[in-house]
Amino acid sequence: MSRTWVTWNVRGLGRSLKRKVVKQAVSKLRPEVLLIQESKLNSDREREIQEWSGSMDMEFEAVFAIGVAGGLLTLWKRNSFVVTGVVKRQRFIILQVHSSQIDCPLWIVNVYGPNIDEERRDFFMDLGSELCNFAGALIVGGDFNATLTDDERRGQNNSNRAADLSFKFFVDSLDLIDLNMANGTFTWNSSRSDGPRSKLDRWLINDEAFLRFDGASQSAEDWGISDHRAITLRLGSTDFGPKPFCFYNSWLMEESFKEMVEEWWCSTVVEGWSGFVLMKKLKGLRDKIREWKKARGVWGSVKIHELEDRLNAVMGRMENEGNSTDLRKHRLEILNQLWREYRLEESRWLQNARIRWLKLGDRNSSFFHKVYKIRAARSEWKI
C-alpha cells in the first residue's frame, strides 16, 4: 500500500487564514508525514501550532523562527509510527522513528537550507556529518535552497555554483537517490518580472528506504498560495517517473523496421553543425519509430494469441476437410509467423528483465543504476 508524504515551503503560517488555506490544500493529499519550511512562527505561537496540528490529527516537532525568518515543522499522523529520537538544529529536524512496516531504523529529516553561499556550504557539511553516523532507512525532504544541475535553474547567473556543488557532494556522499520529479521541472518561481525559477524543493532517499518501502516516486503539486510548490513523496510506488525512450533489439528482426529507418534517415535533411544534425535526426527517428510501432498493429502476447487462434481454426478445418494443399500451406504460413512472434517476444522479455543490460554493465544515469541495484536486492530480500 502506498504512503503519501508531503514537503512544502509555505512562506509563513502566522495568520489564521493562511493556516486554514494550507490545511485545506494539504488535506486533499492526506499525508502521513508533512514537512513544512518557513513557518515564521516563534515560541509564543506554540499553542496555535498544537491546535492546528491537532485539527489534522497530527503530532509535531518544531524549530521556531528567529524573529520572522525561518522556522520548521515536522508533523505526522498519530499512531502511524513511534518517535524514538529527535535532533533539532536551526535549519533541520531529524526524527528517528520505529515503523511496523520496516524492520530497521527509519530517519526522517526536514531541511531548510540557507540562501547565502558561505552558510550553505557549512550547512551541508554539518548535516552530512550528522547523517553519516545513522544506519537504516533515510528520507530527507525540504527546501534545500540549492540545485544539483544547471538544468534545474533558469534566469540566474552561476554565482552560487560552488555552493550547489557542496549540495551535490552531500547527496553523493550519503548515496542518496534523487528521484525523478513528475508534473514539473521547477519548484520555486520568483514573483519578480522575468525572475528566476529553480528546483529547490525535493525528496531524497537512500537505497535502504527504497528497498524497505518497496519503491518510491515524487511529484510536484500545482502552484498555490506560496511561491514554492508542495512536493509529494509516494512510498511503495514502483512508478519511477518519466522513462527514457527504449530501443528494443527485437525491432531489428523486422525487415520493415530496417527499411523504414534507412529510407527515413537518407531522405531527411537537417542543416547545421554535425552534433546538432545528429541530435535532430535522432529525435525525429524516435517519433518515426513510434509511428511504425503503431502502424504495425498488435504486438506480443496479443499477436501470439491471435495467431494461435488462427492455427487452431486451420487445424480444425484439416480435421474435417482433410489435408488439402491450400490448408497445409496456410498452416505453414501461420506457424512461421507464430515462431517469429515467439522469438520477438522472448527477445523483448529478456531485454525488459535487464538480463543483457546488467550482464554488459550498460552505461546509464546514476539514478537508474541505483534502481536496478535496488530491484535486484529487493528480489533477494523477498525470497
- Residue 2, pLDDT above cutoff 80: no
- Residue 293, pLDDT above cutoff 70: yes
Q: In the prediction, which pLDDT does 1 show?
A: 57
Q: In the prediction, which pLDDT does 84 show?
A: 94
CA 238 – CA 375 distance, rounded (Å): 10
Q: Which residue has the higher pLDDT, 277 or 26?
A: 26
For residue 96, name the pLDDT band (cuts at 50, 70, 90).
very high
Domain residues of the chain, as ranges?
3-235, 249-382
CA 102 – CA 106 distance, rounded (Å): 8
For residue 287, name the pLDDT band (cuts at 50, 70, 90).
confident
Q: Which of 177-181, 224-228, 313-317, 373-377 shows the lowest per-residue confidence on average (mean pLDDT)? A: 373-377
The upper half-sphere exposure of residue 380, i.e. CA atoms within 13 Å in the direction of its Cβ, equals: 6
CA 308 – CA 296 distance, rounded (Å): 18
CA 330 – CA 337 distance, rounded (Å): 11
Q: What is the pLDDT of residues 145-187, one digit of tens each?
A: 999 988 898 876 554 555 588 999 999 999 899 998 998 889 9
Q: In the prediction, which pLDDT does 300 show?
A: 62
CB 157 within 8 A of CB 183: no
Q: In the prediction, which pLDDT does 110 show?
A: 98
Non-local CB neighbours of 347 within 8 Å, separated by 6+ positions: 248, 249, 250, 253
Sheet containing 197-198: give its strands across: 153-154, 197-198, 188-189
pTM of the predicted model as reported, rounded to 2 decimal places: 0.65
Which CATH number applies to 3-235? 3.60.10.10
Q: Report angle CA 151, 7, 117 to the nearest 5 degrees.
A: 50
CB 34 within 8 A of CB 28: no
Ranges of H-type helices in the chain:
16-27, 46-55, 117-131, 161-173, 207-212, 255-267, 274-296, 300-321, 325-352, 355-360, 366-382
Non-local CB neighbours of 50 within 8 Å, separated by 6+ positions: 60
Q: Which residue has the higher pLDDT, 336 or 301?
A: 336
Q: What is the pLDDT of residues 205-222, one digit of tens each?
A: 998 898 888 889 999 999
